[in-house]
Structure 1
């Protein structure tokens, strides 16, 4: 199997499990153990592939679709903080040189900061607030957010409110959900002093 084919296969496996869990509603009640298992297995395989490839698979090596699959696998490795952090700097360089899609690197930068409890750079992560409204979490220098987003190929942010109070995925107890999220970030090593 080629590197391109394997990356696409790994992403398809992720999507199949996600769709199955979403169809039963299980996906929306915390980080489901089966989803985490797939994410960690795929991340370990991606790590091995990156080592064998002597670098992150770029668009010129595997095509845009497979490069995005590799980036998505990395983005889904949320319970392996060291793996995500280890690729941030290199991917920023690759994005600057148009070797990987910039928008996915923006997602990575923000996801790392979100789980660490820091302000985002590009405003790509959302979370439920204390009132149960899904909002983009705090960003650095909000006055220049859309400029930074444009540099990474992202659309302007028109409103920080993403969903109304009601909806299919609304947490019944936002405060409890937030405490569970904080406990998870400590358990996985994203945060140590919050």
Structure 2
């Protein structure tokens, strides 16, 4: 009986030690950042093409959004596997470009994924280890997907009006929105941001309940 107890305790200690080593494992941040460079190129490539076409009123390939969804799914699978294993890396570990790449991939994910990872991004932003602007944009998108008013006015939608025009999603306390934007680092106003997106900004834009995305 004593031998069995000793063996059991030894096994438990060894198992805990192995788990601790696994949890403390860190990635090769140089290799991580290099992979993120390629991911960001994929993420932004088709979006740049879409934005340019919208600006010039040019037609888009019929399958471009299907292709973008495929790229997003692949990028998200890779990034989420890393985040689930290591957590959201600090800007000082991954670099500003790598930090931006992770933000873009999760920003383009669905609501469940944004809700899952946003707290990590916000905590890092609070400690200057991630962009406060990125955290503000992700919070706005999360709120929009939840059918709530956004805080910083960074998100636009074509689903608010029957004519399909792009409109800044309804905002909380519009009288102080530009002060809030300035606090987190935005250098433009919500009006200027709307103009850059060719979107309409109405401070009193009504919130549509049960809007699906």
Name 1:146's counterpart in structure 2. Answer: 178
Gaps of 5+ in 2: 1-29, 200-207
Q: Distance in 2 between matches of 1:84 and 1:158?
A: 23
Match of residue 18 from structure 1: 47
Deviation at 1:132, TM superposition (A): 5.1
Question: For the residues of structure 1 that align with 2:38 and 2:178, how far apart are their CA atoms?
Answer: 35
Instruction: Tell me how far apart the structure 2 counterparts of residues 118 and 26 of structure 1 sit (CA, whole Å).
Output: 31
Distance change in 2, residues 1:161/1:12 (3 Å): closer
Aligned equivalent of 1:101, options 103, 115, 131: 131
Q: Alignment partner of 1:26: what SS?
A: coil
Q: Is the 8 A contact 2:91 2:99 kept in 1?
A: yes
Q: Which residue is equivalent to 2:33?
A: 4
Q: Kindly indicate whether residue 145 of structure 2 is the aligned counterpart of residue 115 of structure 1.
A: yes
Q: Does 1:58 align with 2:90?
A: yes
Higher relative contact order (CA 8 A, sep 6+): 1
Q: Which has the higher helix share?
A: 2
CA drift at 1:18: 3.3
TM-score (norm 2): 0.67
| Deviation readout 1:91-126 (Å, 9 max, x if unpaired) | 111111110011111110001111222100111011
CA contact (8 A) 2:178 2:190 kept: no
Q: In structure 2, the residue corresponding to 1:63 is in which secondary structure?
A: helix
**Aligned equivalents of 1:39 and 1:61: distance in 2?**
24
- 7-16 vs 126-135, greater mean Cα deviation: 126-135
Task: Give the ranges of 4+ consecutive aligned residues of structure 1 lying more than 6 Å apart after TM superposition.
Answer: none
The secondary structure found in structure 2 opposite 1:32 is helix
Residues 1:35 and 2:68 are matched in the alignment: yes
Q: Is the 8 A contact 1:135 1:161 kept in 2?
A: no
**Structure 1 unaligned regions, length at least 5:** 170-177, 186-194
Does structure 2 conserve the Cα–Cα contact (< 8 Å) formed by 1:110 and 1:120?
yes
Structure 1, 43-52 or 127-136: larger mean CA deviation: 127-136
Instruction: Give the TM-score normalised by structure 1.
Output: 0.73
Larger Rg: 2
Asked if the contact 1:127–1:135 (Cα under 8 Å) also holds between the matched residues in 2, the reply is yes
Corresponding pairs, count: 168
Distance 1:19 1:153, change over 3 A: closer
